[in-house]
């Protein structure tokens, strides 16, 4: 399934706007390399050509094509899993982008500068937009069969419909728009339902999982995103788990700096004799250096983390939220004099007797709007800062709300200092 860019609903004005836009990509980082097969290594001409093209920075597809074109040897390359990613100039529309990625994030571990680990930010809050995937059987001319899910969750096997023939023009009818797709209907898949156990293409390894990460890399410029392909279900499962964890805690995936790296795992596979065997394999891993305790900060131990996160988001957006009352004993037990936020501005945490919790929240919402902190782009940064300053459950404590309001009021005259404090808190939370 392919990701699409959602735009505001507006009247269609062009043929271009009739079609769903897809995220533009400016290049591809690959999860491994390709090397010569044992048979190809016996041919000195093939070895020299491979080394020459590899040193020139050509893609592995181009190297394989050139070996076949010049020397007549087909399938001379085989994939090999390595601890690093391949970032080559030929895989980018602007080759200098590959050099910049390696300059910023490459490491030399004794074998030249390689890309072992790099940051990534995602453009969509739907995980499928960031990691589209399908079952697909490819030929030299494109996809032959591919999977799509129906409204009821059934996975169907589809194919492109064969163009109709124009009898008057004695040629295929020109197609306008995307190629129409139909359910596969043959002896192997008679009902169009994707069934790998009964699919000859899957059993012969012609059909496999096809997935790709789509992301941006911080500090790397270009009008588009970068993709990283994978065909491992283990990678897909681990990435899905990581995204769902962040989505549960934050409510969104955008704005989080993830990291992509490779790690060795013991993978169970079924060999040709049908026996389960375990073997080590390097897998692409998605991780994020974030303070989960800050993201899951609940206002009260009886309030679920997700509910607390929703309330915090509503607070920053200026909405009304339901607040659990704080007892007098809890208020008395809360430290006042040692509060770092209060110490930073030299103000006391004396409660405003005539101001309810809702009043304090309304005052904070107004201050956040005036300081430009209620926008979606800055809400999470402020939450991280507030958690670092006031601790867990601060939105439920009157004295902490007063202290934060005092700090925000002071920032009206000096917003730059508050911005630096927020940035420092975010950096601390991300990188320790």
Query: Tens digit of pLDDT for each residue in 26-77?
Result: 999 999 899 999 999 999 999 999 999 988 888 888 899 999 999 999 889 9
Strands (E), 100-170: 107-108, 113-114, 117-120, 133-139, 142-149, 155-160, 165-166
Structure tokens, 24: 């533009």
- Cβ atoms of 243 and 131 closer than 8 Å: yes
In the chain the first and final C-alpha atoms are separated, in Å, by 37
Taking residues 197-223, what's their average pLDDT?
93
Quick: pLDDT tens for 270-325: 777 778 888 888 999 999 877 766 655 543 343 344 444 444 445 554 444 444 43
Q: What is the pLDDT of the chain when averaged over all its residues?
A: 81
Question: In this predicted structure, what is the pLDDT of residue 134?
Answer: 95
Closest CA to 27 of 144, 118, 139: 118
All residues at 6 or more sequence positions from 334 whose CB lies less than 8 Å from its CB, including other chains = 397, 399, 400
Longest dimension (CA), the chain: 90
In the predicted structure, residue 221 carries a pLDDT above the cut 70:
yes
How far apart are the C-alpha atoms of 403 and 345, rounded to whole Å? 9
How far apart are the C-alpha atoms of 60 and 77, rounded to whole Å? 8
In the predicted structure, residue 427 carries a pLDDT above the cut 80:
no
- Give the count of beta carbons closer than 10 Å to the beta carbon of residue 29: 24
Would you mind telling me the total number of residues written for the chain in this entry?
432
pTM above 0.95, yes or no: no
Question: In this predicted structure, what is the pLDDT of residue 302?
Answer: 37
Structure tokens, 4: 């699409």
How far apart are the C-alpha atoms of 123 and 1, rounded to whole Å? 16
- Cβ atoms of 394 and 354 closer than 8 Å: no
Q: Which residue has the higher pLDDT, 393 or 102?
A: 102
Q: 264: buried, middle or exposed (CB in 10 Å: 19+, 13-18, 0-12)?
A: exposed
């Amino acid at each position: 399934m392919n990701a699409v860019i959602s735009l505001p609903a507006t009247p269609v004005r062009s043929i271009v706007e009739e079609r769903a836009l897809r995220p533009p990509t400016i290049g591809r980082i690959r999860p491994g390399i390709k090397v010569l097969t044992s048979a190809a290594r016996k041919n000195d001409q093939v070895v020299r050509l491979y080394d020459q093209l590899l040193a020139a920075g050509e893609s592995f597809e181009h190297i394989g094509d050139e070996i076949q074109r010049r020397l007549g040897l087909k399938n001379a390359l085989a994939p090999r899993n390595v601890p690093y990613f391949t970032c080559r100039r030929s895989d980018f529309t602007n080759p200098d982008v590959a050099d910049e990625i390696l300059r910023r994030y490459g490491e030399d571990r004794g074998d030249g500068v390689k890309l072992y680990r790099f940051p990534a930010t995602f453009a969509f809050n739907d995980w499928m937009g960031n990691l589209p995937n399908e079952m697909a059987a490819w030929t030299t001319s494109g996809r032959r069969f591919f999977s799509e899910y129906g409204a009821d969750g059934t996975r169907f096997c589809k194919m492109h419909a064969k163009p109709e023939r124009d009898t008057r023009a004695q040629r295929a009818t020109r197609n306008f728009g995307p190629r129409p797709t139909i359910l596969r209907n043959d002896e192997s898949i008679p009902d169009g339902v994707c069934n790998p156990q009964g699919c000859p293409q899957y059993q012969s390894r012609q059909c496999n999982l096809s997935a790709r990460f789509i992301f941006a890399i911080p500090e790397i410029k270009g009008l588009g995103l970068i993709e990283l392909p994978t065909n491992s279900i283990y990678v897909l499962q681990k990435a899905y788990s990581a995204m769902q964890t962040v989505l549960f805690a934050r409510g969104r995936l955008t704005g989080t700096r993830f990291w992509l790296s490779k790690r060795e795992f013991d993978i169970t596979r079924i060999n040709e004799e049908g026996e389960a065997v375990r073997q080590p394999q390097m897998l692409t891993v998605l991780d994020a250096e974030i303070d989960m305790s800050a993201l899951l900060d609940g206002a009260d131990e009886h309030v679920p983390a997700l509910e607390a996160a929703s309330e915090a988001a509503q607070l920053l957006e200026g909405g009304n939220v339901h607040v659990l009352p704080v007892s007098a004993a809890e208020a008395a037990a809360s430290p006042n004099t040692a509060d770092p936020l209060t110490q930073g501005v030299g103000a006391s945490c004396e409660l405003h007797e005539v101001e309810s919790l809702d009043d304090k929240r309304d005052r904070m919402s107004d201050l956040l709007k005036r300081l430009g902190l209620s926008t979606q782009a800055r809400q999470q940064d402020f939450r991280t800062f507030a958690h670092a300053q006031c601790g867990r459950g601060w939105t439920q404590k009157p004295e902490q709300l007063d202290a934060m309001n005092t700090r925000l009021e002071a920032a009206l005259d000096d917003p730059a200092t508050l911005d630096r404090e927020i940035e420092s808190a975010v950096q601390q939370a991300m990188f320790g």
